[in-house]
Amino acid sequence: MNFEPLPVAGAYLVTPQKRNDERGYFARVFCRDELAAQDLCADYVQANTALSPRAGTLRGLHFQRAPHAEVKLVRCTRGKVFDVVLDLRPDSPTYLRWHGVELSADSAGMLYAPMGTAHGYLTLTDDAEVLYMTSASYAPDAATGVRFDDRAFAIRWPREIVLVSQADRAWPDLQTGRTSGP
């Protein structure tokens, strides 16, 4: 596996090394030892999947508050998404900085989102499916988020957003604490 540091402290693009032959390819997409050798979280307790039938669907930006904060390892298993990690750690040198990567089933790349960051993605194709592992179990009382269109972050989404859940529209702006409405 290759580990490429991203402009958000502690975030990585993790790319499996494909071994190709006449049957296609084989690649290891998780290796506890390789993650640990990079000083990255190697202990995951939950795997989640989400299917979005419509291109332009936005999910996020989500995270869990301490003591249920989590690391995410995210892979697109069908279609293509623009995946974003946003640094919400006030003591981080990249506080409030975001970075987006295109993940696709073809590339098999994964986003490693460290603890203290928010995560979200925009589907670039119809029927996009994402699989992600988390280092902490889902804790409904700790689940929260920030607005995808908050001016404090100025995230540049690569296409029109056509579908966002009411819950994701209701997260407050970071600076004002107000929601923008439906």
Query: For 41-85, how does the pLDDT look when each residue is reduced to its tens digit (9 = 90+)?
Result: 999 999 999 999 999 999 999 999 999 999 999 999 999 999 999
Q: What is the pTM of this model?
A: 0.93
- Give 131's strand partners: 49, 75
Ordered structural domains, the chain, with CATH: 2-169 (2.60.120.10)
Q: How confident is the model at residue 181 (pLDDT cuts 50, 70, 90)?
A: very low
Q: In this predicted structure, what is the pLDDT of residue 134? A: 98
* Residue 132 appears among annotated catalytic residues: yes
C-alpha 80/C-alpha 77 separation (Å) is: 8
Q: Which of 44, 62, 99, 121 is catalytic?
A: 62
Q: List the one residue out of 66, 9, 62 whose CA is nearest residue 168.
A: 62
- Whether 136 and 156 have beta carbons less than 8 Å apart is answered as no
Q: Looking at 12, 44, 112, 132, which residue is catalytic?
A: 132
Please confirm, yes or no, whether 99 is among the known catalytic residues.
no
